[in-house]
Structure 1
Amino acid sequence: MKRSAGLRYALVAAAIIAVLLVGRRLGGELSSALNAISALGPAAPLAFIAIYVIACVLFIPGSILTIGAGVIFGVLWGSIYVSVASTAGATAAFLVGRYFAREAVARRIEGNARFRSIDDAVAREGWKMVLLTRLSPVFPFNLLNYAYGLTRVRLAEYVVASWIGMMPATVLFVYIGALSGDLARAASGSDGASANLRWVLNLVGFAATVAVAVYATRIGARALKERA
């Protein structure tokens, strides 16, 4: 019990360090790209979602984009836009894997024991297996999207289970982005004391989000182990 509690504290500390590092580097290329999206005004959410979907299909990691959503849109709207985008991207990759690139995907995952076991597990568990693998960090997100296209899972079950299972990590990474943006603004003095206060309040909420995400991940990993 003490060991697991210590692990949670270590993960929270590591996540906070990540916030500080991202915040310090916010003035680089990522900042320029995010500013370009933000400058689109009302079209910014649609542009962001479109870019995110394309990234999913092209095997480009979405974590940086998810953090960027927190910088541009804040925690609430950033989480909503990423949730829509990641689910749409996962669905697009699923459909490509099922109907257009079955042989290529099969070759990509051939020899991977984890993915070989997914099809049989999906046949037994259905949407539950999709949900659990989304909660577990063991399975790479982009490749998993295509791999599920080769299984017998129904599209509707896949979409709903993926949406729910990706939510903890989505909110966590968006929170990192929101905190990083607040930290950058506080450091530059652009928002004065209000930025400092907002950053502290968001940090408290972020710590709670980390705890929930870690707990959900542990539940998913434990359930997958029991089904192995």
Structure 2
Amino acid sequence: MSRFSRIGLLIVVFALVMAYWFSPTVKAVTDGSLAAFATLDQAAIERFIQQWGPQAAAVSFFLMILQAIVAPLPAFLITFANASLFGAFWGGVLSWTSSMAGAALCFYLARILGREAVEKLTGKTVLESIDDFFTRYGKHTILICRLLPFVPFDPVSYAAGLTSLRFRSFFVATGLGQLPATVVYSCVGGMLAGGTYWLVTGLLILFALAILIMMVKKITQQRQKRR
């Protein structure tokens, strides 16, 4: 981590702390966001977002960024809430763009702070499991992990920042891999409850696994050709 990066990070952290303590709005949004997340209740998150009126979309965007940093809070609850409050299309756009911003932030935080700090944010065991994916699939890791609903989103972003992977490649793969889940969750987010939730989740997992199998087969064939 360069001296310039350290100084820049300290300035940003100081500014955020000052904003939290001296801006009633920032403090209210932050405290309210954490309280809403603590309930693990989609309805509670919806109520919290909705109470901000014209600023509701901005608050939802902030929520997604916050959960990216304070991993592993469930981002899909925000996606469901966005679909319910803003509709499938605009809620999906909001969820996708904010999750992309969160992924980019995690990527650069890892690149600036280093592995030791990332292990504290994600947990050493989780990070090591993501490392195994990078060992197996190399440059295809990001796309594969994004397509699998059971692979945690934010630790993958942090882990990518610790590699030599270029940000552009990471960003494109994240955008493409995250799109199917965002579309599915946004289209049915307002209807997901009980058995319906698990049915849709199961179908999404099967879809992701089908794509994963095809990708692994393709990678294997490419390696055999090189040999």
Calculate the TM-score normalised by the size of structure 2: 0.64
Q: Which of 124, 129, 146 pairs up with 1:134?
A: 146
Q: What is the deviation of 1:87?
A: 0.7
**Residue 149 of structure 1 aligns to which amino acid in structure 2?**
G
Tell me, in whole angstroms, the C-alpha distance in 1 between the residues paired with 2:154 and 2:69: 7
Distance 1:111 1:58 in 2: 14
**Do structure 1's residue 92 and structure 2's residue 84 form an aligned pair?**
no
Give the distance between the partners of 2:160 and 2:215, measured in 1 at CA: 19
Whether the 8 Å contact between 1:172 and 1:213 is mirrored in structure 2 is no
Mapped contact 1:71–1:180 kept (Cα < 8 A):
no
* Corresponding position of 2:161: 149
Structure 2 residue 142 is matched with structure 1 residue 116: no
Question: Any conservation in 2 of the 1:133–1:139 contact (CA below 8 Å)?
Answer: yes
Could you list the per-position Cα deviations for residues 180-208 of structure 1 after superposition, in whole angstroms to 9, with x for gaps in the alignment?
Answer: 59xxxxxxxxxxxxxxxxxxxxx9xx98x
Name which of 169, 180, 197 aligns with 1:168.
180
Is 2:82 the counterpart of 1:69?
yes
- Percentage of matched positions with identical amino acids: 25
Q: Deviations over 1:156-202 (max 9, x none)?
A: 11111101101111122222322259xxxxxxxxxxxxxxxxxxxxx
Aligned to 2:68: 56
Deviations 1:98-122 (A, max 9, x none): 1114223357446976433344456
- TM-superposed deviation, 1:73: 1.0
CA distance, structure 1, for counterparts of residue 81 and residue 143 of structure 2: 25
The amino acid that maps onto 2:108 is L
Contact 1:83–1:167 (CA under 8 A) maintained in structure 2: yes
- Counterpart of 1:42 in structure 2 is 54
> Which residue number in structure 2 is paired with residue 219 of structure 1?
211
Matched with 1:178 is: 190
Q: Which amino acid aligns with 2:176?
A: I
- 1:91 corresponds to which letter in structure 2? A
CA distance 1:95–1:221, shift in 2 (3 Å): farther
- Distance in 2 (CA, whole Å) between partners of 1:213 and 1:111 is 20
What's the counterpart of residue 15 of structure 1? none
Please list every run of 5 or more consecutive structure 1 residues that lacks an aligned counterpart in the other structure: 1-27, 182-202
Query: Do the aligned partners of 1:38 and 1:72 also contact (CA within 8 Å) in 2?
Result: yes
Letter in 2 for 1:169: A
Query: Which segment is superposed worse, 168-177 or 45-54?
Result: 168-177
Q: Which amino acid aligns with 1:166?
A: Q
Query: Residue 91 of structure 2 is aligned with which of 49, 59, 78?
Result: 78
After superposition, what is the alpha-carbon deviation per residue over 1:113-157, rounded to whole angstroms, capped at 9, x for unaligned? 6433344456xx53x331122112352212111111111111111
Query: CA, structure 1 residues 210+104, in 2 after alignment: closer, same or farther (shift >3 Å)?
Result: same
Residues 76-85 or 107-116, more deviating: 107-116
- Unmatched 5+ stretches in structure 2: 1-39, 221-227
Contact 1:49 1:85 (C-alpha < 8 Å) held by counterparts: yes
For the residues of structure 2 that align with 1:87 and 1:111, how far apart are their CA atoms? 21
TM (normalized to structure 1)?
A: 0.63
